[in-house]
Chains A and B, each alone.
Chain A
Amino acid sequence: MSLGGPYYLTLAAVLFTIGGVGLLLRRNVLVMFMCVELMLNAVNLTLVTFSRMLNDIGGQSLVFFVLVVAAAEVVVGLGIIVAIFRRRKGATADDLHILKG
């Protein structure tokens, strides 16, 4: 048995909202980072879903680009987070507002 497209889209919307709310409400940099990933993958899910629904391979190939960019972003982002952890005890995003210059 297979589920229809709207189920996947609803799941993606739920995941995106969880990610967005988490990003806005949490203070831990690592958790915020995971929330961003959650949102990205929610979008990926919609892309794949629409690709299947509309029978258009374009959506799926776009997902690959998102994955690659996300991987690159993870490298940079985790690097920054590691650097922050080396200098400080914790990793609270609000503490870093002094970086605004």
Chain B
Amino acid sequence: MLHYAYIIPLLPLAGAVLLAFFGKRLGNPLAGWFATLLVTASFVVGVFVFLDLLHRASSNRSFDQTIVTWIPVGGLQIKAALLVDQLSITMVLFVTAVSALIHLYSIGYMHRDPQFSKFFVYLNLFVFSMLILVMADNFVLTFLGWEGVGACSYWLVAFWFDRDSAASAGKKAFIVNRIGDFGFLIAMFLIFSTVGTLSYSGVFGAVGSIGPTTLTAITLLLFLGAVGKSAQIPLFIWLPDAMEGPTPVSALIHAATMVTAGVYLMARVSPLLSHTASSLNVVAIVGLATAFLAATSACAQGDIKRGLAYSTISQLGYMFLAVGTGAYVAAIFLMITHAFYKALLFLGAGSVMHGLHDEQDMSRMGGLRKFMPVTAGTFIVAWLAIAGVPPFSGFFSKGDVLMNAYARSPALYAFGLLTALLTAYYLGRIVFLTFYGPERWRTSGPEEVLPHESPAVMLVPLVILAIGSLAAGVIDLPYANLDYLARWLDPLFGSAERVLTFSTGAKDAFEVADGVVAVTGVLLAGGLWFRRWQRPRLTPVFFQRAWWVDWAYDTFIARPSTALANFSAYVFDNEVIDGVVNGTATLVRDSGTRLRRLQTGYVRNYALAIATGAALVLAYVASRVGS
């Protein structure tokens, strides 16, 4: 079955191509069902490949499949080759599973949209790019997928491009990501000039020959790429704006899969990262700072999707904290469980918006649990999971991250725990504002809104994801012989992975602390927001505007740049450049006007000029000869 691994990315690509040509003819909803079917098939193939890999010895679970030599230029031989190993197949399974569910949901969510089939073209193309990203066996092919998901993200954020805000949000996502991509590119140049190859196995085999400074530079530049793609400080500003896209897009791309690509990249280059302590520290600190900043910002959002976006940024920060402390398994574990509950949160928010005529403002919601029992129930499951209430999946994955943070430094742990408290609190706030309290939608607007539960095609993914959010923890329980994911990934990360030496009692203490913090956050949210829906003192503008970071970019970079562009376009170009060009033309024309008087048309004038000239030349020659 391993030899059929290439089918996994091929199926969504075929879907995108076929739907691009025949999507309109297939129509609504058949085009959506077709796309869903292909992604599901891709998942099934992934499962078979996984089982095949499982049957192999744990030391022999890496399979390289070359499809074609992509760029053969002298010493630069880049193959379009797929790498099937423990990490990539784990990514493949959860990416295709979540994608298939979100495809299914989109059939219901997008059913009124006139561009129904185009939406699925982009979604399938996205899944293809994401699979290329995770399955590539070299940096260049990963970069191809990296740019592919970026392009799909741009198209999908700006899917409703007739709305000005959606169009500019798409551009913002693209431009901010370019800064990160620049880091990725420079890192690849550095790797090639140092090692002379770009395949993962080649680079990791030669890690000993890379100087420490170069290695730190390479890893930090790759981290810059990850920072852009995974929306970390200082490049996180694009993600909240990307919520302008359709909600399934927010769930798939901007919560579950694409934004985790940065974490995947860091896990993939773990053999490089583990050799440079300074890079690891940067990753951990940036991750934790992002987690904290985004969590505080999420506490004050009025828009449900922006609140969830900041929550995503915060959780991604957690994953980078795990990577930075050398806990790659914990990072992947959190990535998988996060994919379930965050996709569920977004899809739940989409369901709410669907029932409320695209209302996103939480001040116009409230009391919805009576009208949308399934949405409310699954949303609450997701909340308890992300909060880390035992025995939901988030409890185990976040506990794993925090324990590793403590092993690195208690300060990291303290901040991580505080962020965990905030996580439980801000999502509780969202839950209570949306599903509890007074019903605030009828009084607003001239039209009376009647909330209704979403159709079954949207509810089935919610229920499946809720089960996943509840139970995904079983893949890596911190008890003897139940840590399947850790044992599965251990041969891959090897010595890069941090080894925990806590006693059983200490581990229990950590679990109790995590559980207490989670429950405290939940109760805090209930106490503060169950009865009241307005507390201006708890939602200061400073947090609403995410610590003014976006404002700072706008004031110190965007506006001066615009002023410079305006100066170049309207002053420098008009006055200086055009001045030189027009000045040359004027000079030629004026001198021509003057010189044309010499052309009289009288032959005798010309003859006289020739004679005079000849006489002068002769005189000159004669004078030279004489001397």
A residues apposed to B, CB below 8 Å: 20, 23-25, 32, 93-94, 96-100
Give A90 Cβ to nearest chain B Cβ, in Å.
Answer: 15
Q: Which residues of B from 600 to 627 have beta carbons under 8 Å from A?
A: 600-604, 607-608, 611
The reply to whether B603 and A32 form a contact with Cβ atoms under 8 Å apart is yes
Q: Which of A23, A32, A97 contacts B600 (CB 8 A)?
A: A97
Given contacts A24-B604, A24-B607, A25-B604, 18 further A-B contacts (CB under 8 A): A20-B611, A23-B604, A23-B607, A32-B603, A93-B602, A93-B603, A93-B604, A94-B602, A94-B603, A94-B604, A96-B601, A96-B603, A97-B600, A97-B601, A98-B601, A99-B601, A100-B599, A100-B600
- Can you give 24 contacting A-B residue pairs, CB < 8 Å? A20-B607, A20-B611, A23-B604, A23-B607, A24-B604, A24-B607, A24-B608, A24-B611, A25-B604, A93-B602, A93-B603, A93-B604, A94-B602, A94-B603, A94-B604, A96-B601, A96-B603, A97-B600, A97-B601, A98-B601, A99-B601, A100-B599, A100-B600, A100-B601
| Chain B residues, CB < 8 A from A93 | 602-604
Q: When chains A and B are docked, how far (Å) is the Cα of A97 from the Cα of B602? A: 5
Give A76 Cβ to nearest chain B Cβ, in Å.
Answer: 15
* In the A-B complex, the 6 residue pairs with the closest CB atoms: A97-B601, A100-B601, A93-B603, A23-B607, A97-B602, A100-B599
Q: When chains A and B are docked, how far (Å) is the Cα of A98 from the Cα of B600? A: 9
Q: When chains A and B are docked, how far (Å) is the Cα of A80 from the Cα of B540? A: 96
| Chain A residues, CB < 8 A from B607 | 20, 23-24
Closest to B611 in A: A20
Q: When chains A and B are docked, how far (Å) is the Cα of A23 from the Cα of B601? A: 15
Q: When chains A and B are docked, how far (Å) is the Cα of A25 from the Cα of B602? A: 12
Determine which residue in B604, B608, B611 has the highest number of CB atoms from chain A within 10 A of its CB, and name it: B604
Q: When chains A and B are docked, how far (Å) is the Cα of A25 from the Cα of B600? A: 16
Q: When chains A and B are docked, how far (Å) is the Cα of A64 from the Cα of B604? A: 28
Chain B 460-489, CB within 8 Å of chain A: the 1/0 string? 000000000000000000000000000000
Chain A interface mostly? helix
Give B240 Cβ to nearest chain A Cβ, in Å.
Answer: 70
| Chain B residues, CB < 8 A from A32 | 603
Give A101 Cβ to nearest chain B Cβ, in Å.
Answer: 8
| Chain B residues, CB < 8 A from A25 | 604
Give B110 Cβ to nearest chain A Cβ, in Å.
Answer: 71
| Chain B residues, CB < 8 A from A99 | 601
Q: When chains A and B are docked, how far (Å) is the Cα of A99 from the Cα of B599? A: 11
| Chain A residues, CB < 8 A from B604 | 23-25, 93-94
Closest to B596 in A: A100
Closest to B601 in A: A97
| Chain B residues, CB < 8 A from A98 | 601
Q: Which residues of B from 569 to 600 have beta carbons under 8 Å from A?
A: 599-600
Q: Which residues of B from 262 to 284 have beta carbons under 8 Å from A?
A: none
Give A3 Cβ to nearest chain B Cβ, in Å.
Answer: 25
Closest to A100 in B: B601
Give B599 Cβ to nearest chain A Cβ, in Å.
Answer: 5
| Chain A residues, CB < 8 A from B611 | 20, 24
| Chain B residues, CB < 8 A from A97 | 600-602
Q: When chains A and B are docked, how far (Å) is the Cα of A23 from the Cα of B608? A: 9
Q: When chains A and B are docked, how far (Å) is the Cα of A15 from the Cα of B220? A: 91
Give A20 Cβ to nearest chain B Cβ, in Å.
Answer: 6
Q: When chains A and B are docked, how far (Å) is the Cα of A10 from the Cα of B611? A: 19
| Chain A residues, CB < 8 A from B602 | 93-94, 97
Q: When chains A and B are docked, how far (Å) is the Cα of A100 from the Cα of B606? A: 12
Give A1 Cβ to nearest chain B Cβ, in Å.
Answer: 33
| Chain A residues, CB < 8 A from B601 | 96-100
| Chain A residues, CB < 8 A from B603 | 32, 93-94, 96
Q: When chains A and B are docked, how far (Å) is the Cα of A29 from the Cα of B607? A: 13
Q: When chains A and B are docked, how far (Å) is the Cα of A99 from the Cα of B603? A: 11
Q: When chains A and B are docked, how far (Å) is the Cα of A36 from the Cα of B602? A: 16
Q: When chains A and B are docked, how far (Å) is the Cα of A78 from the Cα of B11? A: 85
Give B622 Cβ to nearest chain A Cβ, in Å.
Answer: 14
| Chain B residues, CB < 8 A from A100 | 599-601
Q: When chains A and B are docked, how far (Å) is the Cα of A96 from the Cα of B599? A: 13
| Chain A residues, CB < 8 A from B600 | 97, 100
Q: When chains A and B are docked, how far (Å) is the Cα of A94 from the Cα of B608? A: 14
| Chain B residues, CB < 8 A from A23 | 604, 607
Q: When chains A and B are docked, how far (Å) is the Cα of A93 from the Cα of B603? A: 7
Give B412 Cβ to nearest chain A Cβ, in Å.
Answer: 87
| Chain B residues, CB < 8 A from A24 | 604, 607-608, 611
Closest to A26 in B: B604
Give B133 Cβ to nearest chain A Cβ, in Å.
Answer: 69
Give B613 Cβ to nearest chain A Cβ, in Å.
Answer: 13
Q: When chains A and B are docked, how far (Å) is the Cα of A32 from the Cα of B607? A: 11
